[in-house]
Amino acid sequence: MSIDEQARERNKAVARRMLQAWNERGETHLPAELVSPGLIRRTSEGTQRSEQGQNGRTTMEAVLPRIGFRNQVFEEQVLIADDEYVFIAWEVTGTNDRPLYGKRATFNTATAPGADIFRVRDGQIVEHWDFHSKARIHLLARLGLLNPEMVNYLIANGLLGRNRATGRLRPEDLQAWLLV
C-alpha cells in the first residue's frame, strides 16, 4: 500500500470512529480523542474555533440529542477520502421515545440523511464542516414536531441556520420541509 493509500485509509478510519462513537457510546459530539485542539468549525452560523467543553467534548450537537432518541443509529452511506480531507454521508434512524425540545415524545421512528467533511492531520480532525441542520429539520418534520414554535426554539439555541438576507428564518423558508 502506498503512502497516499495509507493516509486515505487512516482518514476514513477517523470518520468511521466518529460514527462508531455516536452509535456505541451515545456520543452526539465529536469524540475528544478525534479532535485537535483549536478545531475550526464551519457551520450555518459561520466559522469559529471550538474549545473543548465538558468531559473533553467539543461544543457541537450532531443531529438530535440522544435524550430524545435513545436508540438512534448512524449508518455510513458514502465515504470518500484523500490524504487530507474526508467526506462522509450518513443516515440516522431513531425513535422519539422521550420529550424533545419541550415537546412530548411521539414514539415515531424517522430516518434522515446528513454529512460531515473533515480536514485531518495526524489522525485528528483539525477542521469540520457541519451539515446537520438539514438532517435535524428532516427528522423533526417527519416526526410531526416542526412548527413555527419549534423553528424559533432551534434558531434561538443555535441549532438551525438563519436566512442570510434577513437573519431570520421565515415559515415560508421551511415550506418544502413541512411537506416531507
**Edge-to-edge strands of the sheet including 35-43?**
46-50, 35-43, 124-130, 109-121, 85-95, 73-81
Show Cβ contacts of residue 22 under 8 Å, excluding neighbours closer than 6 positions.
28, 62, 72, 74
Name the helix (H) or strand (E) containing 158.
Answer: none
Our count of domains for the chain comes to 1
- List, for residues 1-35, the tens digit of each pLDDT value: 777 899 999 999 999 999 998 898 876 678 888 99
Say if 150 falls within a structural domain. no
Position 168 in a domain: no
95 lies in some domain: yes
Domain that holds residue 124: 3-144
Q: What is the CATH number of the domain that holds 108?
A: 3.10.450.50
Residue 177 lies in a domain: no
Residue 179 included in any domain? no
Residue 169 belongs to a domain:
no
Whether residue 63 is contained in a domain is answered as: yes
d(CA 115, CA 170): 24
Residue 53, pLDDT score = 43
**Residue 149 within a domain:** no
- Residues 82-125 have pLDDT tens digits of 999 999 999 989 899 998 888 899 999 988 888 899 999 999 99
